[in-house]
Structure 1
Amino acid sequence: MDMPQNDFDRLLLFEHARKNAEANYVKDPLNADNLTRWGGALLELSQFQSVSDSKKMINDAISKLEEAMLIDPKKHDTLWCLGNAYTSQAFLTPEHDVAMISFDKASQYFQQAIDEDPGNELYLKSLEMTAKAPELHMEIHKHGLAQQSVGGGSSTSSNVKGSKKKKGSDLKYDIFGWIILAVGIVTWIGMAKSHVPPPPPR
């Protein structure tokens, strides 16, 4: 599987973040920031997996983020990451009624994040996008694009199917693009904060 260099770099970055968070968890299991970084890294890494592996990784991310919420229930970046995780989970769920449960949870978490950090543009945009997500979900699954775009497809398909796959792939990136970018930024900032070099001695 050929992967563009920037995707490969992201994969390495978030795999490194995941391993660091896992190691830090052993030392300090009650660190909500670390659990949030871990959940965010898993959410990022889920974008590089097959559909079934992606679902498992998203569930692991939700577990870590919910654990962080038990430690600090008002942590707005964790609430926001949970909203993203449930949005991702919903898009990978073909049954519309089941997906709606995840979309509703995502909206609740985004709203809680906004309540904790009013005026945060990223949180407001996430809530706005989630309101539009159920319609997009129906469109994607009506055309069977989600399974093709995330899990690949037959290499012997006709040009028409190949064209649909390309559109499905583009659509997948439209859907996950803002989630990936935003979670990536939050995780990267969190990693940077946790690895700040000590101030120089006087």
Structure 2
Amino acid sequence: MDLQLSDLDRLVFEKERQAAELACTADPRDADNLTKWGNALLNLASFQKTPEDMIKEAIMKLEQALEVDPERHATLFILGNAHIQQGFFTPNKQVSLGCFDKAAQCFEQAVKLDPGNEMYLKVLGSISQAPELHKEIQFHMANQQASQETVSPFRKKAPKKEESGLKYDVLGWVILGIGIAAWVGMAKSHPPPPPPRYM
């Protein structure tokens, strides 16, 4: 079996999505499963040619989880990352700034609920760089598209590349941050049982 790592990742995220969706049919107001569903959708979005719809669906699931339990800091953190991804995929500067503002609000709330979480603090501290990074990504994507469109009339037109490598690099780091935060958040919300006491 010759599966690439990205194919394996996609299969894992799809399995997580299906499990969370199935669990939510039994209990549609389970904040933990809604968070897992939203996180899986957000991870799967990176494998889509047009991820915007899947990111919107992830945001919807995460907001549903927060309606049930508004103090779930891990969910707030993942929602903030979803807004960042939405902002990066939006070419409109004003819309992307709105997404980054929503992300900052989510991160601020997560820090208030879990002030000692270093990951939350680091991301909150770096959110101010998102507009500049968005500008760079859009610039590189525009240049790449322009270079693909300027093909000599005597040569066959080169096949169009699907996406920018820079976009995938940024998205990979965002997904890594989401995964780590979700794992830390879930680990903190489900501490191991105390050791047995012997009398």
TM-score, length-scaled by structure 2: 0.79
Secondary structure of 1:115's partner? helix
Of structures 1 and 2, the larger Rg is shown by 2
Q: Tell me how far apart the structure 1 counterparts of residues 17 and 31 of structure 2 sit (CA, whole Å).
A: 14
Indicate the residue corresponding to 2:118 in structure 1: 121
Cα distance in 1, alignment partners of residues 109 and 22 from structure 2: 29
The number of equivalent residue pairs is: 180
Deviation, structure 1 residue 122: 1.2
* Contact 1:86–1:102 (Cα < 8 Å) also in 2: yes
How large is the RMSD of aligned CA atoms in angstroms? 3.2
Q: CA deviation at 1:133?
A: 0.8
By relative contact order (CA 8 Å, sep 6+), the higher-ranking structure is 1
CA distance in 1, matches of 2:85, 2:105: 15
1:177 counterpart = 2:168 = no
Q: Secondary structure at the match of 1:143?
A: helix
1:136 pairs with one of 133, 138, 142: 133
Q: Does 2:28 match 1:29? A: yes
Structure 2: segments with no counterpart, 5+ residues: 153-157, 193-199
Query: CA offsets per residue over residues 20-50 of structure 1, 9 Å max, x none?
Result: 0110001011110100000000000000001
Q: Which whole-Å CA distance do the structure 2 matches of 1:100 and 1:122 have between them?
A: 22
After the TM superposition, which residues 144-155 of structure 1 pair with which residues of structure 2 at under 5 Å, given as runs? 144=141
Contact 2:74 2:182 in 1 (8 A): no
Contact 1:146 1:172 (C-alpha < 8 Å) held by counterparts: no
Greater percentage in helix: 1
Q: Percent identity, aligned pairs only?
A: 47
* Consecutive unaligned residues in structure 1, runs of 5 or more: 197-202
Q: Is 1:41–1:187's contact at 8 Å kept on the other side of the alignment?
A: no
Write out the 4+ residue segments of structure 1 that deviate beyond 4 Å after TM superposition.
145-148, 153-158, 186-191
